[in-house]
Structure 1
Amino acid sequence: MTSNEIILDGSVLEGGGQLLRIAVALSTLISQPISIHNIRAGRRPPGLKAQHAAGLRLVAELCQGRLSASDPGTKEIHYQPGSEVLLSRMYTADPGTAGATTLLLQVSFPCLLFSPESSPSTEHHTELILCGGTNAIQAPQIDYTAHVFLPFIRHHFGLAPTLQVKMRGYYPKGGGRVRILIPAVPGPLPSVNLTHRGSVIAIRGRSYVAGLPAHLAAAMRNAAVSSLQSRGIDPRIVDIETVKEEPHDAVGSGSGIMLWAETDGDCILGGSAIGVKGKKPTMVGEEAAEELVRNLAHGGCVDEYMQDQMIIFLALAKGRSMVKTGPLTLHTKTAIWVAEQLTRAKFEVREESASSFIIQCDGIGYTRARHTLIES
């Protein structure tokens, strides 16, 4: 333990992997040593899983940081970030399991966004090759990243990452492979003002199977369309493609559906479900539709998953951001807690109605050019 190390209790609030990911990413950006104990204390089993360990090792590699034991099952880590994130390289992370590639992206992506130069450079494009599961339970599907998360990042922060799914990977084999190219910017990121959602103008989706009969994808799609229509959605604005993955494009067998709604207020909200053994495909389609409708019902501008994923970016941005959301999730409360522990970002949550809230953040205006924090 170093004298300036910040100690975090990994069991606070959500008490899972998200706390770990946000803390390590922010620690890397601001060169702040941290110690996290009671990692995933409420989970069974507690401690790091292979996916968490792979993400920690990846981020330590990005900045040549020092990381204490990171084996699966580890319940306490000490992390001393290096002084500089090394850009314009290729990095690979592979947990050796079906652990979610999207969660590996969550911990590493913020670390690679900022160029050390004070003006834009075309040279700093960092390549990530992330292996594991692309469509897993208890994690965003890679289709969510492609159709909800990255469009949010591009539209509101002016960033231009690209994503390619080279191979789909399904539980329990994993074996998926995702390539992300991340151009760095000088920063700071702009603030976000997103309080008027507007009307839904389109609902799109992807219903897929791999190693299973194609009719299951059609059944999920049809059930989702019927469920949306029964909840007042005009079927003429719904467009859900069905996909049967080719054997050379996927490892293992799997199925699921990803839906996203687009509004005339430049908002995108998602809903998804994964097929599992014993669950009828119609139930999978209905579950995704119900989740999307639930995310639309509160009138907010982001869904429950984007709500917590945006927090680290609002904290890093310059100025005051305001985003209208639905009720705060435990993941979001955790993300806010970690951001305020490690930075000078200040969050305020105001209730608009029984089901809608405004998340306000006075961000720190982070830039790597001065390797310090700029006051907003």
Structure 2
Amino acid sequence: MSCSLREIDGSILEGGGQILRIALTLSVIKRIPIRIINIRAGRSKPGLMEQHLKGIELLRDLSNARIKGASLGSTEVEFWPDKVAGGNYEARVKTAGSISLLLQAALPCALFADSRVTLRLFGGTNAEMAPQIDYTTEVFRPILEKFGGSFDFDLIRRGYFPKGGGEVVINIEPIFKLDPVNMTKRGYITSVFGWSFVAGTLPIKLSHLMADSAVHTLKQFHSNIKIERYKEDRNMAPDNCSGVILVAETSTGCILGGSALGKRNESAEETGKRAAQELAKAIEEGACVDGHTQDQLIVFMALAQGRSSVKVGEITMHTKTAIFVAEKMTDVWATFEIVPEGSCNIIHCTAAK
């Protein structure tokens, strides 16, 4: 492990929690001590919020790290990781802070632990500005499996904005190395399916309205779209929420997703349409992954041994940020190149074996 601190400016590019997650994840896996400054400097409330703090504490526990400056509102953190150890770990966000974002930081680390890792995570399972947990399991996980990693998932309770209170248990078996991927041929759409749900006191009629709207928007891409419509059990999800998760599979094994949560002053039809338009955009781009997955793959591409190539649509700010941080944390060990191809781009990453 290096003895000198590597400094990351948390205000660059996307300038939010993503920089923190990626920098800390690579710090843990490569045992590189880091100092992150100007954390969330451009946000209306700069510094660490509770969900960021809980993420730092979770990675601290996973790697037996020493930390300095990790407190609510802090804009600078120092982090000295040690070896990632298997075992049982817990992170409890009291708000509806996203469980999926906690997992984004912890999952790559757990894959490189010395034995099985069990994570018990509390917070929001379906939240705005973050992947719904269903997207993480149904879209992201199958793509992760192309790299050779995976996880088992048990949903104990759903948690929605603003109360949170969700709980999931995730088991990860270590793999010690990731395989490079080549996802550059999209093929044709073979199936489109999804889930439309309501919870709490909301009537199941809304789930049908969302699903019917999504089907109407997507029917140009596939003739037989299957969307399950249901009301969550009150024991599993006592609070009010509604939403849609949509998935498209292709002949070459690509998986694209789209999702939306219901909003006040928005009709159920509009919610379903928003989710469908998100998926439609990914399909029309001709890319092999959607815009929400592309930035999540950067860490895995940097860690895979060899050359990975992934065809994406427009390069998102989150992806530009992920590449910047990954290259800064890995020096010449992993290098990225973006090559335009028609309306798409191919992200290449060459990582040392």
TM-score, structure 1 length as denominator? 0.91
> What's the offset of the Cα at 1:70?
2.1
Instruction: Tell me the residue number matched to 1:208.
Output: 197
**Does structure 2 retain, via aligned residues, the 8 Å contact 1:167–1:251?**
no
**Does structure 1 retain, via aligned residues, the 8 Å contact 2:193–2:246?**
yes
> What's the offset of the Cα at 1:48?
1.2
SS of the aligned residue for 2:11 comes to: coil
Gaps of at least 5 residues in structure 1 are 117-123, 365-375
CA–CA separation in structure 2 for the residues paired with 1:222 and 1:111: 40
Instruction: Tell me the residue number matched to 1:126.
Output: 117
Instruction: Tell me the residue number matched to 1:360.
Output: 348
Instruction: Tell me the residue number matched to 1:371.
Output: none
Instruction: Tell me the residue number matched to 2:325.
Output: 338
> What's the offset of the Cα at 1:3?
6.1
Matching of residues 25-36 of structure 1 within 5 Å: 25-36=25-36
CA–CA separation in structure 2 for the residues paired with 1:288 and 1:160: 26
Instruction: Tell me the residue number matched to 1:372.
Output: none
Matching of residues 1-376 of structure 1 within 5 Å: 4-82=4-82, 84-87=83-86, 89-116=87-114, 124-154=115-145, 156-187=146-177, 189-211=178-200, 212-229=202-219, 232-236=220-224, 238-343=225-330, 344-353=333-342, 355-364=343-352, 376=353
1:30-61 residue CA offsets vs partner (Å, 9 max, x unmatched): 11110111111111111111111100000001
**Does structure 1 retain, via aligned residues, the 8 Å contact 2:287–2:312?**
yes
**Does structure 2 retain, via aligned residues, the 8 Å contact 1:53–1:95?**
no
**Does structure 2 retain, via aligned residues, the 8 Å contact 1:170–1:251?**
no
**Does structure 1 retain, via aligned residues, the 8 Å contact 2:338–2:347?**
yes
CA–CA separation in structure 2 for the residues paired with 1:76 and 1:267: 39
CA–CA separation in structure 2 for the residues paired with 1:170 and 1:115: 31
Instruction: Tell me the residue number matched to 1:369.
Output: none
> What's the offset of the Cα at 1:251?
4.1
1:148-192 residue CA offsets vs partner (Å, 9 max, x unmatched): 1111111x12223111211110001100011111000132x1111
Instruction: Tell me the residue number matched to 1:367.
Output: none
> What's the offset of the Cα at 1:19?
0.7
Runs of 4+ in 1 over 3 A off after TM superposition: none
The CA RMSD over aligned residues, in Å, is 1.2
Gaps of at least 5 residues in structure 2 are none
**Does structure 1 retain, via aligned residues, the 8 Å contact 2:55–2:102?**
yes
**Does structure 1 retain, via aligned residues, the 8 Å contact 2:192–2:222?**
no
CA–CA separation in structure 1 for the residues paired with 2:69 and 2:122: 22
CA–CA separation in structure 2 for the residues paired with 1:217 and 1:95: 28
SS of the aligned residue for 2:90 comes to: strand
What letter matches 1:218 in structure 2? H
What letter matches 1:333 in structure 2? K
CA–CA separation in structure 2 for the residues paired with 1:77 and 1:243: 44
Instruction: Tell me the residue number matched to 1:370.
Output: none
> What's the offset of the Cα at 1:330?
0.4
CA–CA separation in structure 2 for the residues paired with 1:358 and 1:141: 26
Aligned length, in residue pairs: 349
- Give % identity: 46
TM-score, structure 2 length as denominator? 0.97
**Does structure 2 retain, via aligned residues, the 8 Å contact 1:54–1:95?**
yes
Larger mean CA deviation between 71-80 and 317-326 belongs to: 71-80
**Does structure 1 retain, via aligned residues, the 8 Å contact 2:85–2:113?**
no
Larger mean CA deviation between 199-208 and 158-167 belongs to: 158-167
**Does structure 1 retain, via aligned residues, the 8 Å contact 2:118–2:172?**
yes
> What's the offset of the Cα at 1:71?
2.3
> What's the offset of the Cα at 1:115?
4.8
SS of the aligned residue for 1:247 comes to: coil
SS of the aligned residue for 1:40 comes to: coil
CA–CA separation in structure 2 for the residues paired with 1:28 and 1:97: 26
